[in-house]
Amino acid sequence: MNHFLDIYKTEPAALRAILDDAMAMKKARAGQPRGALDAQTPLEGHMVALIFEKPSTRTRVSFDVGVRQMGGETMVLSGSDMQLGHGETIADTARVLSRYVDLIMIRTFDEAVLLEMAEYATVPVINGLTDRTHPCQIMADVMTYEEHRGPIKGKKVVWCGDGNNVCASFLHAAAQFQFDLTFAGPAQLDPEDEFVGLARKAGCSILIERDADKAVQGADLVVADTWVSMHDSQSTKERRHNQLRPYQVNKQLLDRANSDALFMHCLPAHREEEVTSEVMDGPSSVIFDEAENRLHAQKAIMRYCLGR
């Protein structure tokens, strides 16, 4: 049984196999209606619990559709409707759910909830985002980069903005897939030292740059994310906007990157804040392929977890 808790916790060979599988599954169902079953249905007879303690569009729909395409069934649960939100321990919840379902995906706040779920569940647990990381997203992002431009190994990724959960998983991916990453953002919102250290230890060049113009020079991929994440207090919004405004990805900034650089954003985006519509809808943007690839990457992650 394999959990999928973070990119750095899964071996590079397994990550590569997941991406190969995702690409093969994507190709195999090209042109099929979204609701059609895959030719092979490895999740037939399997029940998957999708638990959300935070809002979601992409994660919720892509996991749900992905399970169904592979012949399985889902149960979408909101944390507040479960006894989990009313005092039942995570450990007890994990042991109970493991008697009913074959796989648990959870989106939550505190990473400790995910880890405790994984410790006590006797079925695989997948991280659907915590305050600290978002590994499924970055598997889709690496897949999307490689689909458009070939191997990501040795490429330069520039993260513009808040050193948040999505940025953290990019650092983990840098370590496992061997690419370089430059963080462009204010010192107050730097990524965690632990994750920067982990990528550097793996031999990647990880630079922290305060000047966005300098950072994007030579970039193969430029990435932005919301300035205020779901776990951030709304009372910090104005301060964050002031700190992050110099890191907006606009055409002028993107023009400093390599001519074939791609732009990504995990979405949801706040147009004209962290990124302009001109960039989001422009020729370098692959944001909707990125969103689609959540489906294919997560199907492969689920197969890896279930050994099917």
**Residues acting as catalytic residues:** 107, 134, 137, 225, 266, 294
Nearer to ligand NVA, 70 or 114 (CB): 114
Considering CB distances under 5 to 8 angstroms, the limit depending on partner class, which of ligand NVA, ligand CP, none binds residue 57?
ligand CP
Report the interface residues with ligand CP, using CB under 6 A: 56-59, 129, 137, 266-268
Q: Residue 229's binding partner, choosing from ligand NVA, ligand CP, none, with beta-carbon cut-off 5 to 8 A by kind? A: ligand NVA
| 180 versus 225: smaller Cβ distance to ligand NVA | 225
Please choose which of ligand NVA, ligand CP, none residue 225 contacts, taking the beta carbon within 5 to 8 angstroms, the exact cut-off set by kind: ligand NVA
- Closest separation in Å from C-beta 226 to ligand CP: 10
Q: Which residue is nearest to ligand NVA (CB)?
A: 229
3-state secondary structure string across 79-133: HHHCHHHHCCCHHHHHHHHHHHCCEEEEECCCHHHHHHHHHHCCCCEEECCCCCC
Closer to ligand NVA at the Cβ: 98 or 127? 127
**Residues with Cβ < 8 Å from 197, sequence gap 6 or more?**
none
Residue with Cβ nearer ligand CP (56 or 127): 56
Q: Which does 252 bind (CB under 5 to 8 A by kind): ligand CP, ligand NVA, none?
A: none
Quick one: CA dihedral 209, 210, 211, 216, positive or negative? positive
CB–CB of 108/114 below 8 Å?
yes
